[in-house]
């Protein structure tokens, strides 16, 4: 674990340099431990693939710190280092991961790039769907838009470059592939992902807390559904 300053109101705690479930687990373990004893002046943390950034208010940290000769940054780094040492002494706990099933209607108007993705990999559209619904994807982080998951675990044989011409509008719920990534758009937005299907389940939930279906550390399974089922679920959501 390495801690680096990130400007004058944040620090970055780094747990590795590659995308791997065990690194995500360490980050989870660290933030869960932190949740039980945050420091005064702490604002929020944001986990990513290999690190987590802690934001703080320097004036608050200094006001509440034991040693006001030390910079807030020094105090925060010392505190997080201590926490890291405590965790090193704890046995690794198997992560209790929530599995979230996301129904997806593949192909047709909902997945205009399904045939193209199949063509690129010399597969049938049905084989693409079978392969895409196979894995349990790990949510490494949310970012880009509210509820947008960065998922790991896309089968190599489905990795497809982004579209040469990005679309101006991709509908909310669209499920796509971009390189080795797969994910779903919570909001209507422009984008270059290869869109293979659409989910009727909202990923962004502005009326609930937290406002998203997923959080970092969850496992996601995509389930293929028919257009009728899509419309039925969509109707229930409305």
Residues that bind other proteins (CB under 8 A): 4-10, 12, 19, 43-53, 55, 58-59, 62, 71-73, 141-148, 150, 186-187, 189, 204, 206, 209-212, 215-216
Of 88, 92, 112, nearest in space to 171 by CA: 112
Q: Can you tell me which residue has the tokens 């791997």?
A: 20
Nearer to other proteins, 121 or 205 (CB): 205
Taking the complex as a whole, the smallest distance from the CB of residue 226 to other proteins amounts, in Å, to: 30
Nearer to other proteins, 30 or 230 (CB): 30
Nearer to other proteins, 58 or 115 (CB): 58
Q: Where are the alpha helices (DSSP H) in the chain?
A: 21-36, 58-64, 72-89, 114-120, 125-132, 227-237
Taking the complex as a whole, the smallest distance from the CB of residue 99 to other proteins amounts, in Å, to: 19
Taking the complex as a whole, the smallest distance from the CB of residue 81 to other proteins amounts, in Å, to: 17
- Residue 101: phi and psi, rounded to 5, are -90, 130
Taking the complex as a whole, the smallest distance from the CB of residue 202 to other proteins amounts, in Å, to: 12
β-strands 189-191, 167-170 pairing? antiparallel
Residue 197: CA count within 13 A, CB half-sphere: 25
């Amino acid at each position: 674990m390495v801690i680096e300053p990130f400007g004058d109101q944040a620090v970055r705690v780094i747990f590795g340099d590659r995308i791997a479930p065990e690194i995500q687990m360490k980050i989870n373990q660290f933030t869960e431990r932190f949740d039980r004893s945050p420091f005064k002046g702490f604002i929020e943390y944001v986990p990513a693939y290999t690190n987590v950034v802690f934001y703080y208010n320097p004036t608050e940290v200094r006001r509440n710190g034991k040693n006001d000769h030390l910079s807030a940054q020094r105090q925060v780094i010392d505190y997080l280092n201590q926490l890291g040492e405590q965790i090193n002494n704890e046995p690794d706990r198997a992560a209790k991961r929530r599995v979230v099933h996301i129904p997806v209607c593949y192909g047709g108007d909902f997945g205009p790039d399904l045939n193209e993705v199949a063509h690129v990999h010399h597969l049938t559209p049905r084989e693409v769907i079978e392969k895409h619904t196979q894995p349990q994807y790990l949510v490494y982080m949310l970012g880009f838009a509210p509820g947008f998951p960065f998922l790991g675990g896309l089968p190599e044989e489905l990795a497809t470059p982004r579209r040469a011409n990005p679309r101006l509008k991709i509908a909310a719920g669209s499920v796509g592939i971009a390189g080795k990534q797969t994910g779903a758009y919570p909001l209507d937005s422009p984008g270059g992902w290869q869109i293979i299907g659409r989910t009727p389940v909202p990923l962004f939930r502005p009326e609930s807390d937290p406002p998203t279906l997923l959080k970092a550390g969850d496992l996601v399974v995509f389930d293929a559904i028919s257009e009728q089922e899509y419309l039925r679920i969509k109707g229930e959501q409305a």
